[in-house]
């Protein structure tokens, strides 16, 4: 594509109902150049155009859409013990989803690099099987801190004691543009696309997964900070918390309000002698799941209920901090931990009322949004498409 075609295609990708006039406003191109780029993109099969349903008087608007089979991107989400690989079309449709088993016990950098090599093979096989000429980009979403601009996984935190892993360089043999991002921002971008990618969208997404992360969406764009580490809400100290965090500090929010923190609290209290139906689970305490904890809470297991009360309060503390610092109109909670949402909501709301000033929480909507196991991989795939087109 020419530069003008790429700019026009990006405008179409970024706008819910893109017309010639809205594309003109986004690209700054002249009418003649815009019309020429639209015609060329249609001829090449990248877009389709159709008349909008007539409303009122005058001529109906012509809406431009990316073609379903114009191109695709591959998204990869690396989690504890698994790796999700998806294929996403230019229209955002999920075309394929596969799970790649990985080792929970990776502790050496050499083992992580070997895993990335395995993932690279899977990516190349997927692209080859579909159509290499239509693959526009590959995105990788990971746990921990990420410098997206440099393509570096700064630290693995829960995943392992790794620092400065050059993910983009390791995977560059794939042969298409690459991007690495953290789970919170990947999921936030997926949510932004669900909402129509509006340029006026403002919200904070709290990612409740193995850790506790956050993503800031300001005027429809992700804010990453100067080195990509904005939003490390999980590593703010929680008053009265003496638990050691994987980051090396003591008292971090995510030692209580996260999937790993909730499971660790359950294990620790059973080890202290607290009676719970969870202590008899066949899979053993080391393999206890959030679903098992939810099931225990559903039958009023006192340990499960108490742990979720504490986790919900810590989540409310995180919301209160966000309200004080950013004062967003919405705080959304998403991630694997939302399976516990019905038990976290009440203590979360109570802590917000206790700790957030009235003006900070006034008109700020909080809630749990639906989560899918594909969200991180789909989100980072959509992000790579956006980056390449822009």
Task: Looking at the structure, tell me whether residues 383 and 362 fall in a common domain.
Answer: no
- Residue pair 204/121 in contact by the 8 Å Cβ criterion: no
Instruction: Using the 3D structure, point to which of 27, 46, 66 is the last residue of a domain.
Output: 66
Q: Considering the entire predicted model, what is its pTM?
A: 0.92
Rounded Cα distance between 273 and 302, Å, is 13
Q: What pLDDT, on a 0 to 100 scale, did the predictor assign at position 87?
A: 98
- Tell me the CATH number at 125: 3.30.420.40
Task: Looking at the structure, tell me whether residues 126 and 242 fall in a common domain.
Answer: no
Q: What pLDDT, on a 0 to 100 scale, did the predictor assign at position 146?
A: 92
Residue 335 domain boundaries: 203-368
Task: Looking at the structure, tell me whether residues 208 and 353 fall in a common domain.
Answer: yes
- Pick from 384, 16, 366, 372: nearest CA to 214: 366
Task: Looking at the structure, tell me whether residues 151 and 211 fall in a common domain.
Answer: no
Instruction: Using the 3D structure, point to which of 66, 81, 97 is the last residue of a domain.
Output: 66
The torsion angle over the Cα atoms of residues 218, 222, 224 and 229, rounded to 10 degrees, is 100
- Tell me the CATH number at 46: 1.10.10.10
- Pick from 37, 15, 41: nearest CA to 26: 15
Tally the domains of the chain: 3
Which strand (E) or helix (H) includes residue 40?
helix 31-43
10 Ramachandran zone, left/alpha/beta (phi>0; psi -120 to 50): alpha
Tokens of 10: 């990006």
Q: Per DSSP, which regions of the chain are E strands?
A: 47-51, 62-66, 72-79, 82-89, 94-101, 135-142, 145-147, 152-155, 163-165, 178-182, 203-208, 212-218, 221-223, 330-334, 365-368
Other C-beta atoms within 10 Å of 363: how many? 8
Task: Looking at the structure, tell me whether residues 180 and 212 fall in a common domain.
Answer: no
Three-class DSSP category at 214: strand
Q: What pLDDT, on a 0 to 100 scale, did the predictor assign at position 56?
A: 56
Task: Looking at the structure, tell me whether residues 92 and 216 fall in a common domain.
Answer: no
Task: Looking at the structure, tell me whether residues 252 and 345 fall in a common domain.
Answer: yes
HEC per residue, 254-275: HHCCCHHHHHHHHHHHHHCCCC
Q: What pLDDT, on a 0 to 100 scale, did the predictor assign at position 104?
A: 63
Adjacent-strand bridge partners of 83: 78, 100
Instruction: Using the 3D structure, point to which of 66, 91, 109 is the last residue of a domain.
Output: 66
Task: Looking at the structure, tell me whether residues 358 and 210 fall in a common domain.
Answer: yes
Rounded Cα distance between 331 and 188, Å, is 11
In this prediction, the residues of the chain whose per-residue pLDDT falls under 50 are none
Other C-beta atoms within 10 Å of 260: how many? 19
Task: Looking at the structure, tell me whether residues 56 and 82 fall in a common domain.
Answer: no
Tokens of 224: 């990453």
Q: What pLDDT, on a 0 to 100 scale, did the predictor assign at position 160?
A: 74
Task: Looking at the structure, tell me whether residues 98 and 185 fall in a common domain.
Answer: yes
Task: Looking at the structure, tell me whether residues 225 and 363 fall in a common domain.
Answer: yes
Q: What pLDDT, on a 0 to 100 scale, did the predictor assign at position 205?
A: 97
Rounded Cα distance between 100 and 231, Å, is 29
Task: Looking at the structure, tell me whether residues 258 and 328 fall in a common domain.
Answer: yes
């Amino acid at each position: 594509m020419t530069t003008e075609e790429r700019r026009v295609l990006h405008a179409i990708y970024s706008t819910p109902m893109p017309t010639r006039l809205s594309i003109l406003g986004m690209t700054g191109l002249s009418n003649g150049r815009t019309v020429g780029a639209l015609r060329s993109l249609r001829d090449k099969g990248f877009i389709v155009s159709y008349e909008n349903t007539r409303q009122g008087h005058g001529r109906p608007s012509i809406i431009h859409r990316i073609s379903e089979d114009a191109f695709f991107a591959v998204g990869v989400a690396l989690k504890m013990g698994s790796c999700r690989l998806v294929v996403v079309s230019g229209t955002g449709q999920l075309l394929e989803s596969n799970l790649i088993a990985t080792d929970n016990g990776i502790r050496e950098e050499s083992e992580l690099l070997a895993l990335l090599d395995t993932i690279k093979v899977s990516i190349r096989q997927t692209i080859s099987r579909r159509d290499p000429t239509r693959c526009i980009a590959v995105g990788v979403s990971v746990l921990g801190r990420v410098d997206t601009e440099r393509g570096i996984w700064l630290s693995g935190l829960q995943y392992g004691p790794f620092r400065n892993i050059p993910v983009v360089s390791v995977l560059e043999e794939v042969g298409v543009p690459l991007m690495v991002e953290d789970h919170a921002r990947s999921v936030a971008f997926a949510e932004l696309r669900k909402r129509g990618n509006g340029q006026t969208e403002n919200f904070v997404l709290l990612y409740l997964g193995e850790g506790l992360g956050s993503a800031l969406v300001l005027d429809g764009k992700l804010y990453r900070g100067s080195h990509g580490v904005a939003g490390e809400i999980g590593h703010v100290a929680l008053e009265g918390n003496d638990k050691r965090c994987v980051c090396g500090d003591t008292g971090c929010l995510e030692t209580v309000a996260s999937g790993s923190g909730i499971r660790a609290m359950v294990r620790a209290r059973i080890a202290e002698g607290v009676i719970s139906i969870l202590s008899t689970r066949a899979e053993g305490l080391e393999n206890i799941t959030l679903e098992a904890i939810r099931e225990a809470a559903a039958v009023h297991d006192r340990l499960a209920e108490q742990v979720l009360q504490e986790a919900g309060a810590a989540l409310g503390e995180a919301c209160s901090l966000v309200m004080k610092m950013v004062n967003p109109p919405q705080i959304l909670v998403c991630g694997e931990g939302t399976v516990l949402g019905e038990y976290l909501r009440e203590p979360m709301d109570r802590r917000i009322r206790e700790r957030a000033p009235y003006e900070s929480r006034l008109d700020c909507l909080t809630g749990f949004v639906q989560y899918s196991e594909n969200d991180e991989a789909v989100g980072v795939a959509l992000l790579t498409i956006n980056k390449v087109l822009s």
